[in-house]
């Protein structure tokens, strides 16, 4: 049985569809990346899994963790899962932390609640976890407050909070977007170390294909609330079939052309929910679109599990 | 006749900021945000400035655009020291150097329509331009960034992030500057839109002969749009030279560490190595960063 099985997940608000037909699978100890531009629904997917959708947003489909559906679960059951079985690392370390509590107290909160530790034991545990994420107590005390720390150190605290109870699944939602490259590299190193040491499964959400390439083995590309391509990173990035995946890779400065020459930009912008064209949501921006694209293409996998939702995909090995 | 004088020059500029006292009787520590930096930018040339956050890139931009005076050293815009000019002369000089900032939402007034945002530098720096001519200049600047006249009466929230950054670039172009200083202009944008805005910078340079000072933490972006590069670390320049050469064969360990930290697509098939070079770049607490 898969650790996490998302099938047919959709999210609606006031008659508007934000997310539709999302299916993802993650095995124990496995790693999966979700990549896409802002507004494609990747964070909503994560929030749906965590049962943290904002009021008014209604999920459909199913999110199964160890076989139990989280979408049906009541608050009490969800509280037993969140932080204990599934934990999340958020994007903005400065806003994810409580500014008026010490970092040690914030890390100790989960273990107190979920592991039933005494105040003293939880404090000791927090100290050890902070040390584990690279915050040496001799340099950064658990009694310090978030504002006394740099962005990278704050992100380490956020990671410490997430792993404090030894979750089976770690969801990292753009964990390094607010950080510069060197700090990003160290935080990614840390996440990969922790995942390997603790045998956690990793769901990495990022807008950066290269971050996905470096951190996970499987990936899904999202566009306008749908998965448009999925498979192993090796296949999806090595031989992208969907014109959107291809377009994203060609638009990266390292992906195409010589310095000073125009980059292959994708024309237009990501349409907001409600303005998605009927049929394939990418067809307005797609160089290969034709009449067939007025009908939404299903996500179809080949024998190797490389799935693409497109009527006019690039052939295997075809150059753009 | 071509003008061989640099359009922008810095001679040994420094800028330090006081930090809070650790305790009431202690001397006030200072942080040397920019320490003894010299550079020249020729007409039409592009220079990239890279480094980690807190290395002084943005402070340097503020000094070069005369938004702040240096503590030591001289800035020369078109051969003239902006910090030695009277107000009227400074206004005239400011027309030739304009800025584009990172966050297009934060740098555009949400209560102003586009025409007013784009016209503002004209109103402030070129009051002799008649009201009637202003509109034509605004329309021309918007056209240069690919926005039509229908945008004039719309407000920033009605645009996407990429379009907002176009508006910010139009505002920078309206005084017909020789130099544009762009501070992380694409880091808030999605990849597909980032490519559009980078293409716009490339095109504006080619068509208008703009000199471009491009500040970014993204080495791939800098590699693509600049001819020369300066790598900064803790307020100092650690390496400088032709962009392609410096990034292909970094001579300074800090440059090499920055390059090694960049995530790579080919990790999907070659596998990932540890990216962070321990010790080469250290993670500071703000209070420890002196």
Asked if the model's pLDDT at residue B273 lies above 90, the reply is no
Report yes or no: B102 and B188 within 8 Å, Cβ to Cβ.
Answer: yes
Which of A173, A155, A182, A186 minimizes the C-alpha distance to A52? A173
In a mutagenesis test of the B interface, which of A41, A180, A191 is the best target, namely the one with the most B β-carbons within 10 Å?
Answer: A180
Task: Quick: pLDDT tens for A92-139.
Answer: 888 899 999 999 999 999 999 999 999 999 999 999 999 999 999 889
Option in A151, A189, A248 nearest B192 (CB): A248
Within the 256-295 window of chain A, which residues sit less than 8 Å (CB to CB) from chain B? 259-267, 269-270
Q: Does A120 touch chain B (CB under 8 A)?
A: no
Residue A17 inside a domain? The answer is no
Tokens for B24? 């009431």
Are residues A281 and A136 located together in one domain of the fold?
Answer: no
Are residues A266 and A142 located together in one domain of the fold?
Answer: no
- In chain B, what are the domains? 1-18+32-96+179-185+211-221+228-259 (3.40.50.300)
Report yes or no: B215 and B183 within 8 Å, Cβ to Cβ.
Answer: yes
Are residues A129 and A77 located together in one domain of the fold?
Answer: yes
Give chain A's mean pLDDT: 92
Are residues A201 and A298 located together in one domain of the fold?
Answer: no
Q: What is the DSSP string of A47-94?
A: HHHHT-PPTT-EEEEEEEETTEESSS--HHHHHHHBTTTEEEE-S-HH
Instruction: Search chain B and give the residue with CA nearest A254.
Output: B220
Are residues A172 and A100 located together in one domain of the fold?
Answer: yes
Asked whether the beta carbons of residue B265 and residue A150 sit closer than 8 angstroms, the reply is no
Are residues A83 and A188 located together in one domain of the fold?
Answer: yes
Asked whether the beta carbons of residue A259 and residue B199 sit closer than 8 angstroms, the reply is no
Asked whether the beta carbons of residue B261 and residue A255 sit closer than 8 angstroms, the reply is no
As a dihedral over the C-alpha atoms of residue A276, residue A280, residue A284, residue A289, rounded to 10 degrees, the angle is: -170
Option in B163, B223, B275 nearest A185 (CB): B275
Tokens for A223? 């566009």
Residue whose tokens read 């309206």: B174
For residue B275, which residues of chain A lie inside 8 Å, CB to CB?
Answer: 185-186, 188-189, 214
Neighbours of A74 (CB within 10 A): 8
Are residues A196 and A236 located together in one domain of the fold?
Answer: no
Which pLDDT value is given to residue A226?
95
Task: Over range B45-52, report the average pLDDT.
Answer: 94
Number of domains present in the structure of chain A: 2
Q: Give the minimum alpha-carbon distance from B235 to chain A in angstroms, rounded to a whole number.
A: 16
Are residues A186 and A275 located together in one domain of the fold?
Answer: no
Q: Give the minimum alpha-carbon distance from B85 to chain A in angstroms, rounded to a whole number.
A: 36
Task: Over range B74-85, report the average pLDDT.
Answer: 94
Asked if the model's pLDDT at residue B287 lies above 60, the reply is no
Asked if the model's pLDDT at residue B3 lies above 70, the reply is no
Which pLDDT value is given to residue B280?
38
Which of B210, B106, B97, B99 minimizes the C-alpha distance to B164? B106
For residue A208, which residues of chain B lie inside 8 Å, CB to CB?
Answer: 191, 263
What is the Cα–Cα distance from A113 to B212, expressed in whole angstroms?
Answer: 55
Asked if the model's pLDDT at residue B59 lies above 80, the reply is yes
In the structure, what pLDDT confidence band is assigned to residue B4 with cuts at 50, 70 and 90?
Answer: low
| ipTM for the complex shown | 0.84
Report yes or no: B122 and B174 within 8 Å, Cβ to Cβ.
Answer: yes
Q: Which residues form the domain of A260? A: 222-308
Residue A67 inside a domain? The answer is no
Task: Over range B225-234, report the average pLDDT.
Answer: 95
At a CB cut-off of 8 Å and minimum separation 6, what does B267 contact? A210, A213, A214
Are residues A239 and A172 located together in one domain of the fold?
Answer: no
Task: Quick: pLDDT tens for B140-172.
Answer: 999 989 899 999 999 999 888 888 999 999 999
Task: Quick: pLDDT tens for B102-122.
Answer: 877 788 999 999 999 999 999
Residue whose tokens read 């004088």: B5
In the structure, what pLDDT confidence band is assigned to residue A257 with cuts at 50, 70 and 90?
Answer: low
Boundary-marking domain end, from A160, A178, A206 = A206
What is the Cα–Cα distance from B13 to A320, expressed in whole angstroms?
Answer: 48
In a mutagenesis test of the B interface, which of A181, A190, A195, A212 is the best target, namely the one with the most B β-carbons within 10 Å?
Answer: A181
Asked if the model's pLDDT at residue A141 lies above 90, the reply is yes
Task: Quick: pLDDT tens for B164-209.
Answer: 999 999 999 999 999 999 999 988 888 888 898 899 999 999 988 9
Q: Give the minimum alpha-carbon distance from B127 to chain A in angstroms, rounded to a whole number.
A: 36
Boundary-marking domain end, from A146, A177, A206 = A206
Which pLDDT value is given to residue B267?
87
Q: Does A214 touch chain B (CB under 8 A)?
A: yes
Asked if the model's pLDDT at residue B289 lies above 50, the reply is no
In the structure, what pLDDT confidence band is assigned to residue B288 with cuts at 50, 70 and 90?
Answer: very low
Residue A144 inside a domain? The answer is yes
Tokens for B244? 């392609």
Q: What is the DSSP string of A182-225?
A: HHHHHHHHHHHHHHHHHT-EEEEEES-HHHHHHH-SEEEEEETT
Report yes or no: B276 and A185 within 8 Å, Cβ to Cβ.
Answer: yes
Task: Kindly state the helix (H) or strand (E) to which residue B255 belongs, with its residue range.
Answer: helix B253-261
In the structure, what pLDDT confidence band is assigned to residue A256 with cuts at 50, 70 and 90?
Answer: low
Question: What backbone torsions phi and psi does residue A31 show, to the nearest 5 degrees?
Answer: -140, 140
For residue B281, which residues of chain A lie inside 8 Å, CB to CB?
Answer: 182
For residue B219, which residues of chain A lie inside 8 Å, CB to CB?
Answer: 181
For residue B266, which residues of chain A lie inside 8 Å, CB to CB?
Answer: 213
Report yes or no: B229 and B251 within 8 Å, Cβ to Cβ.
Answer: no
Q: Which residue has the higher pLDDT, A215 or B127?
A: A215
Give chain B's mean pLDDT: 88
pTM (two decimals): 0.87
Option in A37, A38, A210 nearest B265 (CB): A210
Are residues A108 and A33 located together in one domain of the fold?
Answer: yes
Task: Quick: pLDDT tens for A7-60.
Answer: 999 999 988 999 999 999 999 999 999 999 888 899 999 999 999 999 899 999
Task: Over range B272-279, report the average pLDDT.
Answer: 57
Q: Does A71 touch chain B (CB under 8 A)?
A: no
Least confident of A29-38, A92-101, B241-250, B263-272: B263-272
> Domain containing A49 — which CATH number?
3.40.50.300
Residue whose tokens read 């034991």: A121
3-state secondary structure (DSSP) of residue A116: coil
Which pLDDT value is given to residue A320?
66
In a mutagenesis test of the A interface, which of B224, B271, B278, B288 is the best target, namely the one with the most A β-carbons within 10 Å?
Answer: B224
3-state secondary structure (DSSP) of residue B139: helix
Which pLDDT value is given to residue A39?
83
Are residues A158 and A279 located together in one domain of the fold?
Answer: no
Option in B220, B263, B283 nearest A211 (CB): B263
In the structure, what pLDDT confidence band is assigned to residue A273 with cuts at 50, 70 and 90?
Answer: confident
Asked whether the beta carbons of residue B285 and residue A183 sit closer than 8 angstroms, the reply is no
Q: Does A248 touch chain B (CB under 8 A)?
A: yes
Asked if the model's pLDDT at residue B276 lies above 90, the reply is no
Report yes or no: B166 and B200 within 8 Å, Cβ to Cβ.
Answer: yes
Residue A232 inside a domain? The answer is yes
Are residues A178 and A83 located together in one domain of the fold?
Answer: yes
In the structure, what pLDDT confidence band is assigned to residue B281 with cuts at 50, 70 and 90?
Answer: very low
Residue A35 inside a domain? The answer is yes
3-state secondary structure (DSSP) of residue A33: strand
Residue A1 inside a domain? The answer is no
Tokens for A111? 């273990």
Asked whether the beta carbons of residue B219 and residue A237 sit closer than 8 angstroms, the reply is no
């Amino acid at each position: 049985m898969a650790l996490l099985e998302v099938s047919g997940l959709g999210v609606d608000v006031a008659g508007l569809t934000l997310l539709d037909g999302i299916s993802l699978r993650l095995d124990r100890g496995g790693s999966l990346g979700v990549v896409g531009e802002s507004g494609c629904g990747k964070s909503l997917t994560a929030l749906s899994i965590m049962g943290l959708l904002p009021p008014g947003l209604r999920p459909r489909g199913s999110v199964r963790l160890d076989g139990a559906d989280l979408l049906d679960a009541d608050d009490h059951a969800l509280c037993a899962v969140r932080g204990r079985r599934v934990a999340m690392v958020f994007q903005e370390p400065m806003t994810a932390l409580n500014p008026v509590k010490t970092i040690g107290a914030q890390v100790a909160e989960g273990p107190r609640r979920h592991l039933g530790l005494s105040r003293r034991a939880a404090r000791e545990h927090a100290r050890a976890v902070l040390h584990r994420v690279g915050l040496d107590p001799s340099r950064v005390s658990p009694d310090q407050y978030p504002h006394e720390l740099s962005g990278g150190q704050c992100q380490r605290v956020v990671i410490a909070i997430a792993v404090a109870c030894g979750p089976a699944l770690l969801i990292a939602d753009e964990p390094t977007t607010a950080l510069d490259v060197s700090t990003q590299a160290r935080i990614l190193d840390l996440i990969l170390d922790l995942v390997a040491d603790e045998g956690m499964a990793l769901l990495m959400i990022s807008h950066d294909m290269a971050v996905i390439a470096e951190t996970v083995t499987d990936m899904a590309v999202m566009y306008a609330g749908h998965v448009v391509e999925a498979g192993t990173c090796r296949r999806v990035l090595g031989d992208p079939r969907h014109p959107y995946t291809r377009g994203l890779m060609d638009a990266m400065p390292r992906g195409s052309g010589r310095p000073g020459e125009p980059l292959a930009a994708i024309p237009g912008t990501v349409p907001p929910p409600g303005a998605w064209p009927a049929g394939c949501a990418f067809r307005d921006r797609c160089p290969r679109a034709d009449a067939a694209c007025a009908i939404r293409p299903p996500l179809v996998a080949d024998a190797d599990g490389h799935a693409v939702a497109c009527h006019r995909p690039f052939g295997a090995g075809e150059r753009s | 006749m071509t003008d061989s004088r640099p359009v922008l020059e810095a001679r040994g500029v420094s800028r330090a900021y006081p930090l809070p006292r650790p305790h009431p009787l202690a001397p006030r520590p200072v942080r040397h945000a920019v320490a003894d930096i010299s550079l020249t930018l020729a007409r039409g040339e592009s220079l990239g400035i890279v480094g980690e956050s807190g290395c002084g890139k943005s402070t340097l931009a503020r000094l070069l655009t005369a938004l702040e005076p240096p503590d030591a050293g001289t800035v020369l815009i078109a051969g003239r020291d902006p910090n030695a000019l009277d107000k009227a002369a400074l206004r005239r000089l400011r027309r030739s150097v304009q800025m584009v900032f990172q966050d297009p939402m934060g740098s555009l007034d949400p209560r102003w329509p586009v025409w007013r945002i784009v016209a503002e530098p004209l109103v402030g720096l070129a009051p002799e331009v008649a009201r009637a001519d202003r509109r034509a200049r605004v329309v021309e600047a918007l056209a240069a960034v690919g926005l039509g006249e229908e945008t004039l009466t719309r407000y920033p929230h009605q645009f996407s992030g990429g379009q907002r950054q176009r508006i910010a670039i139009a505002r920078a172009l309206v005084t017909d500057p020789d130099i544009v200083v762009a501070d992380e202009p694409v880091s808030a944008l999605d990849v597909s839109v980032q490519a559009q805005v980078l293409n716009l910078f490339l095109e504006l340079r080619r068509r208008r002969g703009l000199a471009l000072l491009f500040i970014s933490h993204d080495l791939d972006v800098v590699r693509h749009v600049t001819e020369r590069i300066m790598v900064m670390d803790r307020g100092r320049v650690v390496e400088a030279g032709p962009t392609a050469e410096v990034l292909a064969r970094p001579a300074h360990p800090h440059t090499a560490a920055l390059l090694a930290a960049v995530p790579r697509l080919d990790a999907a098939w070659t596998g990932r190595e540890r990216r962070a070079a321990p010790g080469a770049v250290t993670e500071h607490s703000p209070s420890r960063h002196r």
